[in-house]
Amino acid sequence: MGEDQEAPRVGRAVRRRRRALDLTLAELAGRTGLSKPFLSQVENDRARPSMRSLQRIADALETTAVQLLGAAEDRRTVDVVRADAAALADGGAGTVRPLVRGQQQLHALEFTGAHDWGREFRHPNDELLYVVEGAVEAEAEGERYELRRGDTLYCTGGVTHRWRALEPGARVLLVGVADDIGL
């Protein structure tokens, strides 16, 4: 696998954020429920967390998984992410693949398979969910929608939302304005 095809290494970004919050590895382990040795391996890029673990780390560090992924790589003015680029396990039968690398003004992720229905999201800026294949159920502001191939769900900043795949092969493209960009 070539350099551009490897899963992102988030260790440097996790360590930088942990130190900025003046947390020890033991304190981070307590906040995440993950082991101190595992977190040390993540910070030293000897282990790559699943997306679910990365979200737990991000929550404990008062940031988002997308921001940690973005901070893990240098900003690029032009970038190509190949279809066979490595994806992260999404904590179940699904995967997530970053489609925009580095800290950019938007983020884009491709989810394939299962997704955690129990986790709600609320971002300060806008987000668009596009169903590439299969079907998903989405909920925004308490209202549920069944979305099929080609359908989109748009949420303005501040809207509480969540989604899950209804079919094993479901594929979703999620595009959002970066959380640190003011509109």
Q: What is the CA radius of gyration of the chain?
A: 16
Confidence of residue 2 (pLDDT cuts 50, 70, 90): very low
Q: What is the mean pLDDT of residues 162-173?
A: 92
- Give the model's pLDDT for residue 108: 86
Residue pair 112/174 in contact (Cβ under 8 Å)? The answer is no
φ, ψ (nearest 5 deg) of residue 13: -70, -40
Report the sign of the C-alpha dihedral through residues 12, 21, 102, 122, in that order: positive
Report the sign of the C-alpha dihedral through residues 145, 122, 156, 69, in that order: negative
- Give the model's pLDDT for residue 182: 39
pLDDT tens, residue by residue, 64-122 = 777 787 777 777 788 888 888 877 776 667 888 888 877 777 888 888 888 878 888 88
**Of all residues in the chain, what percent carry a pLDDT higher than 90?**
41
- Give the model's pLDDT for residue 51: 78
- Give the model's pLDDT for residue 116: 78
What is the SS3 assignment for 181? Answer: coil
Cα dist from 111 to 97, 123, 178, whole Å: 7, 18, 18
What's the CA dihedral at 71, 119, 21, 36 to 10 degrees? Answer: -90
**155 forms bridges with which residues in the sheet?**
127
Q: What is the mean pLDDT of residues 23-36?
A: 95
Task: Give the residue among 80, 155, 160, 171 at the shortest CA–CA distance from 120.
Answer: 160
**171 forms bridges with which residues in the sheet?**
112, 133
Q: What is the mean pLDDT of residues 129-145?
A: 96
Residue pair 94/112 in contact (Cβ under 8 Å)? The answer is yes
Rounded Cα distance, 79 and 64, in Å: 22
Rounded Cα distance, 98 and 111, in Å: 9
Rounded Cα distance, 85 and 6, in Å: 7
Task: Give the residue among 79, 84, 80, 110 at the shortest CA–CA distance from 97.
Answer: 110
